[in-house]
Structure 1
């Protein structure tokens, strides 16, 4: 009887995985694999004709697909009980604040919240409004201003010096951070106004001292998803060195593919995977990481943060570029003699971004950018709020589409 039940459970899990991943594959990756397949044949002198599927990618399909998958897998693993409340289940899948770009919620956290009554909580609502205000600042002042600069530099990268291109990569790093963490803050804040608690998705990632820490702070809902449903099932880090390398590379290649059907995303994931492997083994065999952690030096901390930020910034070039060729061309132009020249334009905004990171450094132990509940003087609090609103209205750039809406 138990054997039959086990087979039935595995069959149902298989059906769920096949359906969810099948829909994701058809809409997002079908044309990519067909084109790659034909290019391989072309390399061997065997050109074949094909016709691509003209499909419109549903907004946010990667996010709610992973959300439903986590529910199915957690039920199969008996970590949660299957719900009999159909309305609550579909509300969990289609909860509007985080539907199109996350955070990718777990059923164990969000689903029970639909099944209990909610009472207005003034403190949570105020914090929700702070999150929304901070998210709007990140999106409209940081991300959208960066986007105007980034689009011009990347589209005309052959016309600029290496120093300007490096600044362009930095601007893109802040664009995607302000854009995505801004959306997450707005989503979490909106949910909080409605009495729901969503998981934190960003935790000041550009203050990370190594790449491992970066992935604990960046897009937390996705990185923990891959950890729980891909990395650990593959064996995690309790395996041989060769298997550990394989596990890490699989996770980051899949993560790259999740972001889009393009070789640039795969290469972006590969860079992070390789650097993370090197970081892990250097820490494991030289004890360098443990030694650095014991050093109470702000200089060493800033140095480590700078190295990590530089690594992430270089990888962002592949994320932003349209093709692998363009990405390598961009990097080749960066690492030329002109890297040491004075960058062209936008120096004031670069200084503003440095100032913004300094503010994040001050807030690094708080839950989010505008978590200023520790300030007791109300005039100071309201000055900060009004100044933020003023900057949104006066320095917010032309509206740009959220980057992660394409995923």
Structure 2
């Protein structure tokens, strides 16, 4: 079920009414309702894949209990490995099996040996990369004794399948989200109203910014040879805002929806295109995934504690793994490799933690130095996004090559309307770059102005929302 669908427009109020008006006094029934609602939400796409979520939940719930019941290190590690192998096994079969099989066949073919690739005719389950990482965080934290295992199966199953963030995050830690299922929740009007504002802003970013950009981006990337250099540049810029509007828009809707039910999810985006270097960008982009890899991969490998070789090795590992998490294609590995190259000089010069504050802090206007830093970071990010969007490394290289031709300053010959929506996005988020989301204007004292902007945004969504496009991160 899509957030921007008619079905969800009916689904959400029904669940909300049952949750607060029928089961308000009984926490267990509220959790059970969320569990059933989450299964309906996911099963609306394809009910057969519910079995994967249920099975994964059973395995991790059981492994968590088993880990806590023994003090023998080898047995504790064995139960952890069961959890890891099941979850990563699902990812391997559904997401990566065909990639490795075809890559192996191509490798043998290049050596003069013909090898038929064994492929599986399977559909990639929506959100499998998100909920497997979320449930793995539970068993890992239980193993590390950072979290006590739960004996409340309903709460745990609801945590794994919580519908607002089930298919595209944020990837919640068990230490943050699971305890919220234990506590009695009371309706909070300020929390719910802020959730509605975040949902409205998320819909604007998705339906207006991302989907309008997608129309142009799809045309250009499907046949880049038909467009001149200036159009290719604009196509790359539009994709940068398409993926940002699409993914951060989903996160805003997810976080806002969770707040309607009394839950607080982690911030997943913190205005990343206002970053002054790549290190800051990755502290602000897909925060739940970046911190997941930091805590469960980078730090266990040694992080930045070792010598230069270890730092370089760990940096490349973390970015390559992050790239591969996004999809079974060499283009994602190149995207990760490029970001590692961008990040490496900052790490080696110990400047990766320089820009930890908000750009132009306590000022409205950005100074020339910061503007240059933001501009360079954005250009580097766009260059990497070309590989992320392209269907192959060869196509990405051709795309970048064709940018630098004699037509760079020619008229692009494409619809530039999305620039208007991008400008509105940037202006609103610039004013609120130190907030949790772009529409935190509850402190605006002039009520008619505040509500007027809500109505304006709603009308923009209604009249300028493009034809619905599938959320990009559903494929991951």
Q: TM-score range by the shorter chain?
A: over 0.9
2:288 to 221, 235, 238: 221
Spell out, residue by residue over 1:308-367, the C-alpha distance to the aligned partner (whole angstroms, 9 max, x if none).
Answer: 111111110011111111111101111223223332233343244234213211111122
2:465 to 396, 403, 406: 396
1:159 shift after superposition? 1.3
Q: Which residue of 2 aligns with 1:366?
A: 435
Summarize the Cα distance change of 1:65–1:384 in structure 2 as closer, same or farther, 3 Å threshold: same
1:230 to 293, 297, 322: 297
Spell out, residue by residue over 1:5-37, the C-alpha distance to the aligned partner (whole angstroms, 9 max, x if none).
Answer: 111111111111111111110110000000011
Q: Point out the more displaced range, 359-368 or 275-284.
A: 275-284
After TM superposition, the structure 1 = structure 2 runs for residues 5-404 of structure 1, keeping only pairs within 5 Å, are 5-283=72-350, 298-404=367-473
Gaps in structure 1 of 5+ consecutive residues? none
1:337 is paired with a residue whose SS is coil
Task: Name the CA distance, whole Å, in 2 between partners of 1:69 and 1:184.
Answer: 21
CA contact (8 A) 2:127 2:166 kept: yes
Gaps in structure 2 of 5+ consecutive residues? 1-68
CA contact (8 A) 1:282 1:288 kept: no
State the TM-score, normalized to the length of structure 2.
0.82
Summarize the Cα distance change of 1:289–1:360 in structure 2 as closer, same or farther, 3 Å threshold: closer
CA contact (8 A) 1:181 1:202 kept: yes
Q: Point out the more displaced range, 144-153 or 154-163.
A: 154-163
Spell out, residue by residue over 1:344-393, the C-alpha distance to the aligned partner (whole angstroms, 9 max, x if none).
Answer: 23334324423421321111112211100221110010011000001000
State the TM-score, normalized to the length of structure 1.
0.95
Summarize the Cα distance change of 1:152–1:380 in structure 2 as closer, same or farther, 3 Å threshold: same
1:283 shift after superposition? 4.8
2:407 is paired with a residue whose SS is helix
More relative contact order in 1 or in 2 (CA 8 Å, sep 6+)? 1
Q: Point out the more displaced range, 365-374 or 349-358.
A: 349-358
Q: Which residue of 1 aligns with 2:39?
A: none
Spell out, residue by residue over 1:119-164, the C-alpha distance to the aligned partner (whole angstroms, 9 max, x if none).
Answer: 0001000000001100110011000000001000111101111111
Task: Name the CA distance, whole Å, in 2 between partners of 1:3 and 1:347.
Answer: 63
Task: Name the CA distance, whole Å, in 2 between partners of 1:186 and 1:27.
Answer: 27
RMSD of aligned residue pairs (Cα, Å):
2.1
Summarize the Cα distance change of 1:369–1:3 in structure 2 as closer, same or farther, 3 Å threshold: closer
Spell out, residue by residue over 1:56-84, the C-alpha distance to the aligned partner (whole angstroms, 9 max, x if none).
Answer: 11110000000011111111111111111
CA contact (8 A) 2:277 2:377 kept: yes
Task: Name the CA distance, whole Å, in 2 between partners of 1:142 and 1:76.
Answer: 43
1:217 shift after superposition? 0.6
Task: Name the CA distance, whole Å, in 1 between partners of 2:429 and 2:268.
Answer: 16
CA contact (8 A) 1:163 1:339 kept: yes
1:340 is paired with a residue whose SS is coil
1:79 is paired with a residue whose SS is coil
Spell out, residue by residue over 1:73-118, the C-alpha distance to the aligned partner (whole angstroms, 9 max, x if none).
Answer: 1111111111111111111000011000000001111111111111
Q: Point out the more displaced range, 181-190 or 328-337.
A: 328-337
Task: Name the CA distance, whole Å, in 2 between partners of 1:15 and 1:137.
Answer: 42
